[in-house]
Amino acid sequence: MKSARGRDIGKGLAILIIIPVIIPIYAFMGGFLNFSDPETARIMHDILQFFPSSWGSEVIVAFAQNPGDFLAIEFDALVQLLGLISFFVISLLLGGVVANRVYSLEPSSFSSSKAKSDGIFYNSIKVLGGGGSFGLILVSSFKNYFRKVRNITMLAYGVGLILVMNVFMMQPDDTVSAMLGSFIMGPLLAVFTVGDVTLQGKENLLLYKQTPSGTFRYLCAKLFHYLLIVVPLTLIIEGLITLGVPNLTLEGLLINLGLTFSLAASATVFTLGIFLLNPAYHDKSAEYMINIQICVFAVIIPFFVCLMTVDQPLYDIFGIIDAFYPTLIVYAFIMWIFAGVTLHLGVKKLSNLE
pLDDT at 105 over 60: no
Per-residue pLDDT band for 265 (boundaries 50, 70, 90) equals very high
Burial class of residue 3 in the structure, from the number of CB atoms within 10 Å of its CB (0-12 exposed, 13-18 middle, 19+ buried): exposed
Per-residue pLDDT band for 336 (boundaries 50, 70, 90) equals very high
| Low-confidence winner among 5-9, 200-204, 276-280 (lowest mean pLDDT) | 200-204
Q: What is the pLDDT of residues 288-333, one digit of tens each?
A: 888 888 888 888 888 888 777 776 666 665 555 566 777 888 888 8
How far apart, in Å, are the Cα atoms of 167 and each of 35, 243, 248?
A: 19, 13, 18
Q: What is the dihedral of CA 194, 195, 199, 200, to 10 degrees?
A: -10
How far apart, in Å, are the Cα atoms of 49 and each of 26, 56, 144?
A: 21, 10, 43
Cβ(183)–Cβ(238) below 8 Å: no
Cβ(210)–Cβ(135) below 8 Å: no
**pLDDT average, residue stretch 2-11:** 72
Q: What is the pLDDT of residues 226-238, one digit of tens each?
A: 899 999 998 998 8
**pLDDT average, residue stretch 334-340:** 91
What pLDDT score does 113 carry?
Answer: 56
Per-residue pLDDT band for 56 (boundaries 50, 70, 90) equals confident
pLDDT at 241 over 80: yes
Cβ(327)–Cβ(306) below 8 Å: yes
Residue 208: closest CA among 198, 159, 190: 198
Residue with the bigger pLDDT between 75 and 225: it is: 225
What pLDDT score does 341 carry?
Answer: 92
Provide the angle, in degrees to the nearest 10, between the axes of the packed helices 75-103 and 52-65.
150
CA distance 260 to 156: 20
pLDDT at 102 over 60: no
Cβ(89)–Cβ(71) below 8 Å: no
Q: What is the pTM of this model?
A: 0.72
Per-residue pLDDT band for 192 (boundaries 50, 70, 90) equals confident
What pLDDT score does 270 carry?
Answer: 92
**pLDDT average, residue stretch 85-113:** 70
Name, in order, each residue with C-beta under 8 angstroms of 139's C-beta and a sequence gap of 6 or more.
118, 122, 125, 126, 129
What pLDDT score does 218 carry?
Answer: 79
Per-residue pLDDT band for 157 (boundaries 50, 70, 90) equals confident
Helix (H) or strand (E) holding 309: helix 286-309
